[in-house]
């Protein structure tokens, strides 16, 4: 049962010209204590402090979060002179991948600074405490060791999946055709980890990705699960991956990916599952016939941009609030598999680790039910010391979509390429 909300006083105003926060890069405004971020190409939202917080779990976690957030906003005293998506009341959210185990969190910051369409604003909730702007700390040397699932265990589980999965165009129509398996890696730094160090390095190297931090989960994801702005919804589905190899040019990698039957089938599962779950909410939905290639520093992905217009009644009565839509589309076949329930059971059996909030929806939601949720990929969970960040350990995750034609050795290399963004961001450079 969600706790009963205490009324919040929410004030949003445009930052005046002479305020240094108007021009400083968003990430540079963050204090070291529990920073919150959703930034892409320099725009987005950063937040800090905690005016309200919900921890929830289980299959109803999205509904519980939506109900709590809706009640909090309905009771709030709001003055918003900006009136853009992300102004007024805002919560940062990060959901567990699995129904069980794992906690999901919704955090309402005391301060949010937002930037959108060239407008910079600040939102305060209550009377925020001043936080000292301590300099960003470097992690020093970082040591790695296997996590709950080593690379060797991962290879074995992929090989087992390849044996079990139904081949394309044949086999049992109800059998699992795609499953996404992951493994983890533990990093221990010489110095306490400062999320801001990771955020800045990630944003510098992956500006087109969404650089996020919520409750110690820090990363830069290229995958947008769902964005809702009024009646408009949008998703960037990724599945099918290639990575740089010596002697192979970027164009060759891209054309190889577009011609790979295995990657195209992996991709089709992901794009179709997202579209199928979203369709009942939409008056119009546009799904590209063929994916395109998204080029990042560490990998290339097949990408589909799906857009839709929500039914007017769905948009108006709250059934299509972003957190409700998230319940419908998560887990897509980009991080679960096809068909979803059987694939999720196979993940429990073969992967057998607690993913926590890795590969769950992460992002923000505003008081009107708008917002952006990415899939928490290319990320690390920072260990918390005494309930606050500042520990020296982090758990990194990466996974790959497996189909009957997958090669276990290649999937180990692909997962290693997906760990690069965080490993590079942790490097003491």
Ligand X SMILES: C=C(O[C@@H]1C=C(C(=O)O)C=C[C@H]1O)C(=O)O
Asked about 351 being catalytic, the answer comes back as: no
Give the pairing of strands 361-366 and 90-94. Answer: antiparallel
Torsion of CA 185, 191, 195, 201, to 10 degrees: -80
Burial of 339 (0-12, 13-18, 19+ CB in 10 A): middle
Closer to ligand X by CB, 222 or 367: give it: 222
Distance between CA atoms of residues 312 and 359, nearest Å: 30
Tokens matching residue 373: 């949720």
How near is the Cβ of 354 to ligand X at its closest, in Å? 15
Closer to ligand X by CB, 65 or 398: give it: 398
| 301 forms part of the interface with ligand X (CB under 6 A) | yes
Cα angle, residue 227 at apex, residues 222 and 228 outer, rounded to 5°: 175
Closer to ligand X by CB, 177 or 301: give it: 301
Asked about 178 being catalytic, the answer comes back as: yes
- Tell me which residue of 323, 358, 319 sits closest to 61, measured CA to CA: 323
Which of 26, 113, 238, 382 lies at the binding interface for ligand X (CB under 6 A)?
Answer: 238
Distance between CA atoms of residues 75 and 143, nearest Å: 48
Which of 82, 91, 202, 239 lies at the binding interface for ligand X (CB under 6 A)?
Answer: 239
3-class state of residue 245 by DSSP:
coil
Closer to ligand X by CB, 333 or 368: give it: 333
How near is the Cβ of 267 to ligand X at its closest, in Å? 8
CA 281 to each of CA 51, 265, 275: distance values in angstroms, whole numbers, following the listed order: 32, 26, 10
Give the pairing of strands 9-14 and 77-80. Answer: parallel
**Pattern 172-211, binding to ligand X, x per CB under 6 A?**
--------x-x-----------------------------
| 241 forms part of the interface with ligand X (CB under 6 A) | yes
| 377 forms part of the interface with ligand X (CB under 6 A) | yes
| 149 forms part of the interface with ligand X (CB under 6 A) | no
Number of amino acids touching ligand X (CB under 6 A): 19
| 360 forms part of the interface with ligand X (CB under 6 A) | no
| 218 forms part of the interface with ligand X (CB under 6 A) | no
User: Where along the sequence are the contacts to ligand X (CB under 6 A)?
Assistant: 180, 182, 223, 238-241, 266, 301, 334-335, 359, 377-378, 398-401, 418
Active site residues: 178, 223
């Amino acid at each position: 049962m969600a706790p009963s909300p205490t009324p919040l006083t929410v004030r949003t105003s445009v930052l005046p010209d002479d305020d240094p926060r108007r021009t400083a890069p968003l990430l540079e405004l963050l204090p070291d204590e529990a920073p919150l971020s959703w930034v892409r190409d320099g725009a987005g939202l950063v937040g800090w402090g905690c005016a309200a917080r919900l921890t929830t779990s289980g299959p109803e976690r999205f509904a519980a979060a939506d109900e709590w957030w809706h009640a909090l906003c309905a009771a709030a005293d709001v003055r918003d002179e900006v009136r853009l998506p992300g102004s007024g009341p805002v919560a940062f959210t990060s959901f567990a991948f699995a129904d069980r185990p794992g906690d999901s969190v919704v955090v309402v910051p005391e301060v949010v600074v937002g930037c959108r369409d060239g407008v910079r604003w600040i939102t305060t909730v209550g009377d925020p405490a001043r936080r000292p702007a301590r300099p960003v700390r470097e992690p020093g040397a970082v040591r790695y060791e296997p996590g709950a699932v080593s690379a060797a265990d991962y290879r074995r589980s992929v090989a087992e999946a390849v044996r079990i999965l139904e081949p394309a165009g044949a086999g049992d129509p109800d059998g699992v055709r795609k499953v996404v398996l992951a493994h983890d890696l533990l990093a221990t730094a010489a110095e306490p980890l400062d999320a801001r160090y990771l955020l800045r390095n990630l944003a510098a190297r992956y500006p087109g990705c969404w650089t996020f931090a919520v409750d110690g989960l820090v990363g830069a994801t290229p995958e947008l699960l769902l964005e809702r702005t009024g009646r408009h919804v949008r998703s960037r589905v990724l599945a099918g991956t290639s990575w740089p190899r010596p002697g192979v040019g970027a164009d060759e990698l891209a054309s190889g990916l577009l011609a790979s039957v295995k990657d195209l089938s992996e991709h089709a599962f992901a794009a179709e599952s997202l579209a199928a779950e979203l369709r009942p909410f939409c008056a119009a939905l546009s799904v590209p016939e063929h994916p395109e290639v998204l080029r990042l520093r560490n990998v290339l992905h097949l990408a589909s941009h799906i857009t839709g217009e929500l039914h007017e009644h769905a948009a108006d009565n709250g059934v299509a609030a972003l957190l409700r839509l998230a319940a419908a589309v998560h887990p897509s076949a980009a991080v679960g598999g096809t068909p979803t329930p059987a694939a999720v059971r196979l993940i429990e059996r073969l992967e057998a680790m607690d993913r926590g909030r890795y590969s769950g929806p992460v992002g923000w939601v505003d008081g009107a039910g708008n917002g952006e949720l990415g899939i928490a990929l290319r990320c690390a969970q920072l260990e918390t010391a005494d309930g606050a960040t500042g520990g020296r350990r982090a758990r990194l995750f990466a996974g790959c979509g497996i189909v009957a034609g997958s090669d276990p050795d290649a999937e180990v290399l692909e997962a290693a390429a997906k760990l690069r963004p965080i490993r590079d961001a942790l490097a003491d450079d």
